[in-house]
């Protein structure tokens, strides 16, 4: 018989792996930079995939500013069971966010807390059998991004969201280097606010895009451009689904169809 | 929120871990399953044939009921060959808080009293029990608790945060290096 002391084995990691066993594919929506429309893309894509008949979950992993609940007008309360927390069901879309747990309290999280909190979120959320879990990652390339990558590994595909702005692209490029170094496949770059459709003409508020060059440099096959849609904010203020905005909805539907088709092959 | 299922709540809001844990006993099973799975993974890496005894520190912040956790461990461990008849020794690890702004020190009971809007934050489980979010995610303490003296959220948390396997006594199954 032998004794091994001074250990520090945390069951959280195994619990998280176990909880993710019911999920076939995890789509990480990342940007490295805030304010590029990542949460809007995550919500819209999750809704569009659900509308196509897939079983979909949406996890808001933004530790400091979870905002997907605003976009979805969530008012339900989360409940617990023997296996942990049961995501709330929004007409077939399973949904989980820290905002469901802390309300409007500020998330004043210290650096060392973030890794454990992310593990706790994955370890305690009991998803059903899902085709897709869409994860809205927070901005940054710290623990918020690294821990989910480590945990999800082979099930993950990453969609990177940027705007055509050079400021955004410089940050996104750092994220792409991190993902390449970690061996995580980036399937798609989504360029949000790529153009504004004025009916008789199309305007590009940020000028000509460099995104194709970035995609080529990193060997990313899909570049998808989403419009700057002035109707979106009005839709959100009316507490309607982002997919109620016509042009946005059409673009996202195409993206969801494109994704579903590509992941089938 | 309906209080009918637990009238004690109105009388003793946030009076501490022991009160909550008497009513909320489901989550301990999920933790127990995680512990046994972690032991299985550890045994796999280290060629361990069977665990004889396992010592576990249970952070006070998660407000787990040790009796229920022990019962859950006993039951779940029987389903796995390497943990069958293993003796589990559980020990509460206490938590202390120190404010970085005013230097105040406090413990869990006093800290729980600072959680504002706690009734709205309570999470109902399927047995009709209610828990604070800390029961599921102890790291949310920074979002919920404040310094009882100055109200700051800038404080240190020492000890008592998670569940950790701190020592194992085992029968070795052959070759392999120990990895902790």
Distance CA A215, CA B66 (A): 53
Q: Is A18 in contact with B37 (Cβ distance < 8 A)?
A: yes
Distance CA A227, CA A247 (A): 8
Q: Is B85 on the interface with A (CB under 8 A)?
A: no
Q: Is A244 on the interface with B (CB under 8 A)?
A: no
What is the value of ipTM here, to two decimals? Answer: 0.86
CATH class of the B21-94+160-180 domain in this structure: alpha beta
The percent of residues in chain A predicted with pLDDT above 90, rounded, is: 53
Do residues A171 and A63 lie in contact, with contact meaning Cβ atoms separated by under 8 Å?
no
Tell me the nearest-neighbour CA distance from A20 into chain B, angstroms.
Answer: 13
Domain definitions of chain B by residue range: 21-94+160-180, 96-158
Q: Is A117 in contact with B167 (Cβ distance < 8 A)?
A: no
Q: Is A11 in contact with B27 (Cβ distance < 8 A)?
A: no
Q: Going residue by residue through chain A (265 aa), what tens digit of pLDDT does each one get?
A: 888 888 888 999 999 999 999 999 999 999 988 889 999 999 999 999 999 999 999 999 988 889 999 999 998 889 998 888 999 999 999 999 999 999 888 888 887 788 899 999 999 999 999 999 999 998 888 888 888 888 887 888 899 999 999 999 999 999 999 999 888 889 899 999 999 988 889 999 888 889 999 999 999 988 999 999 888 888 889 998 999 888 889 889 888 888 777 766 5
Q: Is A203 on the interface with B (CB under 8 A)?
A: no
Q: Which residues contact A174 (CB under 8 A, 6 or more apart)?
A: A32, A141
Cα–Cα–Cα angle for B18, B23, B26, rounded to 5 degrees: 110
Distance CA A49, CA A218 (A): 27
Q: Is A190 on the interface with B (CB under 8 A)?
A: no
User: Which has the closest alpha carbon to B68: A203, A82, A58?
Assistant: A82
Phi, psi (rounded to 5 degrees) for B176:
130, 145
Residue with tokens 């076939």: A24
Looking at residue A136, its pLDDT comes to 95
CA dihedral B143, B144, B150, B155 (to 10 degrees): -50
What digits encode the pLDDT tens for the residues B50-66?
Answer: 999 999 999 999 889 99
Q: Which residues contact B112 (CB under 8 A, 6 or more apart)?
A: B14, B15, B16, B118, B132, B145
Q: Model pTM greater than 0.90?
A: no
> And the tokens for B176?
């392999």
Beta-carbon neighbour count of residue B18 at 10 Å? 10
Cα–Cα–Cα angle for A48, A150, A137, rounded to 5 degrees: 40
């Amino acid at each position: 018989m032998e004794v091994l002391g001074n250990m520090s084995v945390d069951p959280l990691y195994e619990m998280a792996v176990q909880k993710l066993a019911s999920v076939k594919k995890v789509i990480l929506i990342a940007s490295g930079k805030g304010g590029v429309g990542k949460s809007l893309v995550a919500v819209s894509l999750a809704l569009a995939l659900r509308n196509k008949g897939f079983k979909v979950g949406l996890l808001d992993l933004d530790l400091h500013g979870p905002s997907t609940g605003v976009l979805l007008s969530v008012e339900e309360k989360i409940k617990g069971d023997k296996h942990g927390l049961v995501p709330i069901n929004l007409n077939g879309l399973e949904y989980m966010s820290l905002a469901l747990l802390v309300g409007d309290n500020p998330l004043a999280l210290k650096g060392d807390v973030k890794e454990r909190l992310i593990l706790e979120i994955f370890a305690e959320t009991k998803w059903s059998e899902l085709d897709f879990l869409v994860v809205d990652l927070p901005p940054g390339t710290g623990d918020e991004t690294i821990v989910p990558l480590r945990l999800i590994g082979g099930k993950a595909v990453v969609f990177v969201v940027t705007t055509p702005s050079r400021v955004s692209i410089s940050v996104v490029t750092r994220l792409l280097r991190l993902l390449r170094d970690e061996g995580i496949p980036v399937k798609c770059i989504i360029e949000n606010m790529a153009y504004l459709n004025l009916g008789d003409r199309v305007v590009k508020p940020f000028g000509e895009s460099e995104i194709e060059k970035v995609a080529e440099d990193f060997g990313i096959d899909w570049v998808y451009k989403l419009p700057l849609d002035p109707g979106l904010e009005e839709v959100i203020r009316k507490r309607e689904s982002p997919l109620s905005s016509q042009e946005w909805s059409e673009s996202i539907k195409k993206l969801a169809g494109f994704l579903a088709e590509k992941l089938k092959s | 929120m309906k209080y009918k299922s637990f009238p004690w709540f109105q009388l003793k809001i946030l009076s501490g871990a022991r009160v909550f844990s008497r009513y909320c006993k489901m989550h301990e099973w999920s933790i127990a399953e995680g512990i046994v799975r972690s032991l299985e993974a550890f045994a796999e890496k280290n060629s361990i044939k069977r665990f004889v005894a396992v010592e576990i520190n249970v952070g006070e912040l998660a407000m787990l009921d040790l009796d229920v956790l022990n019962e859950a461990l006993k039951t779940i461990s029987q389903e796995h060959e390497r943990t069958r008849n293993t003796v589990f020794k559980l020990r509460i690890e206490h938590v202390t808080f120190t404010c970085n702004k005013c230097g105040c020190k406090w413990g869990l009971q006093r800290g729980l009293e600072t959680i504002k809007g706690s009734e709205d934050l309570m999470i109902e489980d399927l047995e009709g029990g209610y828990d604070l979010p800390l029961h599921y995610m102890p790291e949310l303490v920074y979002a919920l608790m404040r310094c009882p003296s100055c109200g700051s959220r800038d404080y240190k948390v020492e000890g008592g945060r998670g569940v950790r396997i701190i020592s194992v006594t085992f029968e070795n199954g052959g070759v392999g290096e120990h990895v902790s």
